[in-house]
Amino acid sequence: MKINNIIKTTIGICSLWFCLSIKAQELQPVKHVVVIGFDGLSPNGLKHANTPNFDKIISEGASTMHARSVLPSSSSTNWASMIMGAGPEQHGITSNAWEKNNFVLPTIVKSEDFLFPTIFNDINKQIANAEIGAIYHWDGFGRLFEKSAVDYDVNPKNENETAKVASNYIKSKQPTFTFIHFDHVDHAGHEFGHGTPEYYKSVEKADTLLAEVMKAITSSPMANETVVIISADHGGLGNGHGGETLQEMEIPFIVWGKGVKENYSLNYPVYQYDNAATVAFVLGFKLPMACIGRPVKNAFVSFNETDDYPITKRFTAPIILPKTGSYKQAGGLFVDDAEVRISGSGDIRYTLDGTMPSEVSKKYTTPFKVSKNTVVKSALLKDGHVVSTVSEAFFRVIPSNAKPSVSYEIFYLSNLSSVPFLEKKTPNEKGYCFEITSDEIRDKIKENTAVLFKTNITIEKEDTYGFFLRSDDGSILKINNEEIVNNDGDHGVKEKGGSIHLKPGTYPLEVVWFNGGGGGWLDVYYQTASQTKQILQSTFFKKKDY
């Protein structure tokens, strides 16, 4: 009998412990969530600008500077992912050109015609009498959510008005869910360039606007029942974004408020679509099964989920000089020879054939010269392993008597969203350059500019040649009047490739490229089975009379 009683008591204690453990892992839903999104805000901006209000919220909350956007790192795709809890593969908003009457990939599920369900719709359906507001500086955000699900839908004319309208709405309505979008940081990135003094000034302006909104929250009756999530759609590089670099892909993710850990670094991955999942977790509603986002539970007290894969610690990569700028690759075009210098500390290894550096690669000690076209790769090693990203530079060397062999024609047009037909148009400017790139003619490129490059390429060895266009916006490459690469469209820096089998001989090559607006860029690469991928060199080109 005593044994039975002991068994019963033990079972009871274990059951109680289990229930308490489950309860400890539950988050009591809060009453209010405010998501504040700053278009184009990068971790670099927060690091180098004077941002006392961001700093205060970070110290009082949980955060990471290594959250990731989805590809492409453009606005429409990422704002959609943020409010839908899904990626472009699910919601189908794959570029800024997306509209309900202009898309390629249809949404996998829908809340209304052509639109993947958003958290606005989920909250409206699942939380009784919820007050929902959307205040957005960029009018394009307004096409990404269900209008019928929102009680307050305003598109202010500027960032100051956005902060004012949002603050007044919060104080007067104490909404269940508020989404606030600021666009001015992205404007500065496009106009002046990311990492410029003007860009940092725009981040400091964001800091004052954040303070205004936070004051409205903390001085209202919802002060102690609110969670605030601060994030961005993408970062930037040079005057643009849309590409795959860390500068474009990494974004801040900051959580503050009720039940949030203080001064806590989120050490596990956070993705753009986790924003919506975190809102659902906090407010206590369910996302559709079609969503792929997961709540960032570790931001909250009593949660400490772990596994074997925290965010990889990255060491600073070596810098190959002349270094990259904007979308320009490190290295460059040189006469007769080029000096290669590598900046950094520690065990720096490098290769000259485009292969991955390793412990058997040559160790960098002093500058050296190259006298031919060379792909330099370098990385930092510790204990024989690569611990940084790999730096890459393309050095192209021409003789002092070389003449430019690529003709270009520049057309100033209007309303460009794809590569235009130029056959019957008169160019505004003509000239010659050494390579097919926007870099040599960058001072001539404006909004709505198209450029036609023409040359001949000389092939000495029969092989299958891969060609690649890396451009912002669209571009098309033809050889012998055959389209080999089509990278058309209104997009950020994006790369596409194609291939063609060529026998020895000379072939006409054309590239058409356009810049619709913002920062434009064009590079052309080639690759064979025996040649590493590299910028298409002037040594291929043969001048033709046009």
Confidence of residue 25 (pLDDT cuts 50, 70, 90): low
Residue 353 has what DSSP assignment? B
SS3 424: coil
pLDDT at 21 over 50: no
**Dihedral sign, CA of 316, 318, 324, 329?**
negative
Contact present, 261 and 90 (Cβ < 8 Å): no
What is the residue-wise DSSP string for 431-470?
EEESSSSSGGGGGG--TTEEEEEEEEEEE-S-EEEEEEEE
- Average pLDDT for 380-392: 93
Angle in degrees, CA 321, 188, 245, rounded to 5: 45
- Does position 17 have pLDDT exceeding 70, yes or no? no
The residues pairing with 475 across neighbouring beta strands, listed in sequence order, are: 487, 513
User: Would you state the structure tokens that stand for residue 93, as one six-digit string?
Assistant: 């908003």
Residues 482 and 510: beta-carbon distance below 8 Å: no
Element (H, E) at 486: strand 482-487
Lowest mean pLDDT among 444-453, 485-494, 505-514: 485-494
Looking at the DSSP assignment, which residues form a beta bridge with residue 465? 500
The amino acid that residue 36 corresponds to is I
Spatial distance between the Cα atoms of 41 and 117, rounded to a whole number of angstroms: 26
Listed in order, strand segments (DSSP E) in 364-447 are 368-370, 374-382, 385-386, 391-398, 406-412, 429-433
Share above pLDDT 70 across residues of the chain, in percent, rounded to a whole number: 94
Task: From the options 2.60.40.3140, 2.40.240.10, 2.60.120.1560, 1.10.357.10, give the CATH code of 406-542.
Answer: 2.60.120.1560
Output the CA angle 353-354-358, nearest 5 degrees: 95
> Which has the higher per-residue pLDDT, 9 or 94?
94
Domain ranges of the chain: 28-299, 319-398, 406-542
Please give the pLDDT value at position 12.
52
Largest CA distance in the chain: 107
Burial class (CB in 10 A: 0-12, 13-18, 19+), 24: exposed
In DSSP terms, 479 is beta-bridged to 482, 509
CA distances in angstroms from 86 to 272, 287, 296, 504, listed in the order given: 8, 10, 15, 49
Could you report the per-residue pLDDT of 272-283, keeping only the tens digit for each?
A: 999 999 999 999
d(CA 351, CA 342): 12
Q: Could you tell me if 170 and 221 are in contact, meaning their C-beta atoms sit under 8 angstroms apart? A: no
How many beta carbons lie within 10 A of that of residue 413, not counting itself? 16
Paired sense of beta strands 406-412 and 541-542, if any: unpaired
- Is 1's pLDDT higher than 70? no
Q: What percent of the chain has pLDDT over 90?
A: 83
79 closest CA partner among 205, 181, 147, 211: 181
Q: What pLDDT digit, counting tens, does each position of 211-268 carry?
A: 999 999 999 999 999 999 999 999 998 888 888 889 999 999 999 999 999 999 999 9
What's the CA gap between 533 and 466, in Å, rounded?
9
How far separated are the first and last CA of the chain, in Å rounded?
106
* Residue 522 scores a pLDDT above 60: yes
Written as one letter, the residue type at 283 is: L
Per-residue burial over 134-149, b if 16 or more Cβ lie within 10 Å, else e, is: bbbbbebbeebbeeeb
- pLDDT over threshold 90, residue 2: no
Mean pLDDT of the chain: 92
Q: For residue 114, which amino acid is it? A: F
Contact 268, 298 (CB under 8 A): yes
Pick from 45, 108, 73, 62: nearest CA to 270: 62
Handedness of CA 236, 239, 243, 247 (dihedral sign): negative
The per-residue pLDDT for 6 is 52
User: How does DSSP classify residue 520?
Assistant: -
Cβ-contact 223, 29 below 8 angstroms: no
288-291-292-297 Cα dihedral, nearest 10 degrees: -50
DSSP state letters, 275-317: HHHHHHHHHT-PPPTT------GGGBTT-----S-PPPP-BPP
CB 76 within 8 A of CB 37: no
**In contact, 270 and 311? CB cutoff 8 Å:** no
- Centre a 10 Å sphere on the Cβ of residue 249 and count the other Cβ atoms it contains: 23
Fold of the domain built from segment(s) 28-299 = Alkaline Phosphatase, subunit A (3.40.720)
Residue 496 in this model has a pLDDT that exceeds 50: yes
In angstroms, rounded to a whole number, what is the distance separating the alpha carbons of residues 471 and 242?
A: 10
> Does domain 319-398 correspond to CATH entry 2.60.40?
yes
Distance (Å, rounded) from C-alpha 326 to C-alpha 341?
19
The pTM of this model reads 0.81
pLDDT at res. 23: 44
| pLDDT tens digits, one per residue of 137-177 | 999 999 999 999 999 999 999 999 999 999 999 999 999 99
Measuring CA to CA, which residue among 449, 450, 459 is closest to residue 479?
Answer: 459
Dist. CA 25–CA 29, nearest whole Å: 12
Nearest C-alpha neighbor of 406 from the set 448, 440, 449: 440
